[in-house]
Amino acid sequence: MLTSLSIRNVVLIEALDLEFGAGLSVLTGETGAGKSILLDSLGLALGARADSGLVRAGEAQASVAATFDPPAHDHRAWALLAENGIEPEPGESLLIRRTLKADGGSRAFVNDQACSAALLRELGGALVEIHGQHDDRGLLNPRGHRALLDAYGRSDLAAVTQAHAAWRDAVDRLAQARATLDNATRDRDYLAHAVEELSRFAPEPGEEATLADERAAMQKGARLSDDLSAVAECLTGSDGGLAQLRQAARRLDRIAGEHPALAEVLASLDRAVIEAGEAEDRLAEAAEALSFDPARLDTIETRLFDLRGLARKHQVQPDDLAALAQDMAARLAAIEGGEEHVAALEAEVVNKAAVYRSAAQALSAERQMAAGRLDAAVAAELAPLKLDAARFRTVVAPLDEGQWGPQGMDRVEFEISTNPGAPFAPLVKIASGGELSRFILALKVALAEQGGADTLIFDEIDRGVGGAVASAIGERLARLARTNQILVVTHSPQVAARGAGHMLIAKSSDGTVTRTGVHALDEAERREEIARMLSGAEITAEARAQAERLLERV
């Protein structure tokens, strides 16, 4: 609900601070007093185009601030603010402010946080509906008609929304499976050949290092074989060093008792024989370790060359070939089983689509029934508003399958025919502004509490009518005001008498400067203003009496 409006330096308004209450508030005044300036100011705060012509002559800047009571927790305004990184404190009012410089530059704020004018427009549309001669938002926008009809018919969209999500999920999974299968099928021959080749070769992790080490050892043995043979020849054999040492030890053993020194020599020879024997054993072990088989070396080198060649071919490290073989085998198996998987997903998509179609068709039937009830409710409101020749209908038409969505498969639009025999057309095509406002009022009354902004503003809805029609307009505005805050700019005393609050817009001049002001009327002032509206320039006793009767009737 709009609680206050503060205007500074907008056209003829120098400084104005207004407070608004719940229910129906009426704004009256003589033609040219500045009612349009008031609405233009509010429009500026709600994100309308920033026209530098709104800045009061001689001033550098204009500003407008509108304060709203905190909307309900599930109001669309909160989602808009959250999407734009603005999160007011719980229970905090919303302050929307716009400044406009004389050179045309403007700035927008929500609770003193800078924002875009686009956000103000969205936020303003969620908080306030302004219905005037050139309004093309709110009920005139077909994009909102389906939601309004669903709210009116109390349709539950949960089943359709869930079925649509399940259907789209199945479609996405099918598309992914088909893409995977298509890509894999193109590689079928390559994968089959690669899997067969790798399986036949049977690479193992760590094999390259093992082969390389064995090859290096065998190559080293080949290089050292001559030296090892020569050393062995020196040590072993009948003429080798070890045999000579043993022979010398045997001879010395026979004469060692002849002199102590010979015993010492014998001990030394015994140690040498032992060491030489150990050396002979170690030499044999080394020769065995470094021995090589040319055929084995050739096999190792061939295997190592092929292993590295496969790795280069598949652009992996040799140690990764075994894992690559497993991966390719799995991909090949997926191709072979992919067609069955795709067939299963196709069946699931058909099933999910049928579930969605069934739920959406049930919703369509609900909408058709709700449309009939809404058409009848609107029709009942037309005649009292001097629209008895007009006809209203709610079109519920099927969408193309590509346009089906979480809200079903229907397009919904409100259409009217204003004259007998005239074709039906969208609401926005109505030529007469006053007629349009009354039609919006009839539709609003029929829809009652079914969504929309909390604050509704009607600009001269009673233009061109009077008497019983004006009374009917006032009665319906008062009815709407039970659930919404209603502000109406009016020239009709019958409408003005219905207001819970009454503000007078007047123009004043001190000879050099002209100003527009707004004054909240008390009961006596209100009676006098309604009398003026009844009688014109000269207020008569009869007009005052008639004003009294109008106020008493409401």
Distance CA 393, CA 426 (A): 10
Angle (CA) 2 505 460, round 5°: 75
What tokens were used for 56? 């009061």
- Has residue 3 been placed in a domain? no
Q: Which domain holds residue 254?
A: 189-332
DSSP 484-525: SEEEEE---HHHHTT-SEEEEEEEEE-SS-EEEEEEE--HHH
- Has residue 287 been placed in a domain? yes
Distance CA 125, CA 103 (A): 27
pLDDT in tens, 60-80: 999 999 999 877 777 888 888
Q: How many CB atoms lie within 10 A of CB 308?
A: 16
Which residues are paired to 6 by β-bridges? 17, 65
- Has residue 472 been placed in a domain? no
Distance CA 492, CA 95 (A): 32
What tokens were used for 91? 């229970």
Give the ranges where 31-116 is alpha helix by DSSP (H). Answer: 35-45, 76-83
Q: Please, what's the largest Cα pairwise distance for the chain?
A: 172
The residue among 503, 542, 538, 514 whose CA lies nearest residue 28 is 503
Element (H, E) at 68: strand 61-68
How many domains, the chain? 1
The residue among 491, 463, 464, 494 whose CA lies nearest residue 477 is 494
pLDDT in tens, the chain (554 residues): 999 999 999 988 889 999 999 999 999 988 777 788 888 899 899 988 888 889 998 899 999 999 998 777 778 888 888 888 888 776 788 899 999 999 888 999 998 889 988 898 888 888 888 876 545 455 777 888 998 899 888 888 999 999 999 999 999 999 988 887 777 777 777 888 888 899 899 998 998 898 888 888 777 766 666 566 666 667 776 677 777 777 777 777 777 777 788 788 778 877 877 887 787 778 677 766 666 677 888 888 898 898 999 999 989 999 999 999 998 888 788 777 777 888 899 999 999 999 999 999 999 999 999 999 999 999 988 888 888 888 999 999 999 999 999 999 999 999 988 888 888 988 777 646 667 777 888 888 888 655 567 888 888 777 777 778 888 888 888 888 888 899 998 888 999 999 999 999 988 887 778 888 888 999 999 999 989 888 876 888 888 888 888 888 76
- Which parts of 69-181 are beta strand (E)? 94-101, 106-110, 113-115, 128-131
- Has residue 462 been placed in a domain? no
What tokens were used for 194? 């690669």
Instruction: Kindly report the pTM of this predicted structure.
Output: 0.61
- Has residue 249 been placed in a domain? yes
- Has residue 276 been placed in a domain? yes
According to the 3-state scheme, what is the secondary structure of 357-396? HHHHHHHHHHHHHHHHHHHHHHHHHHHHHCCCCCEEEEEE
- Has residue 324 been placed in a domain? yes
- Has residue 284 been placed in a domain? yes
Distance CA 498, CA 477 (A): 8
Query: Are the beta carbons of 4 and 19 closer than 8 angstroms?
Result: yes
Burial of residue 226 (number of CB atoms within 10 Å: 0-12, 13-18, 19+): exposed
The residue among 316, 218, 324, 199 whose CA lies nearest residue 308 is 316
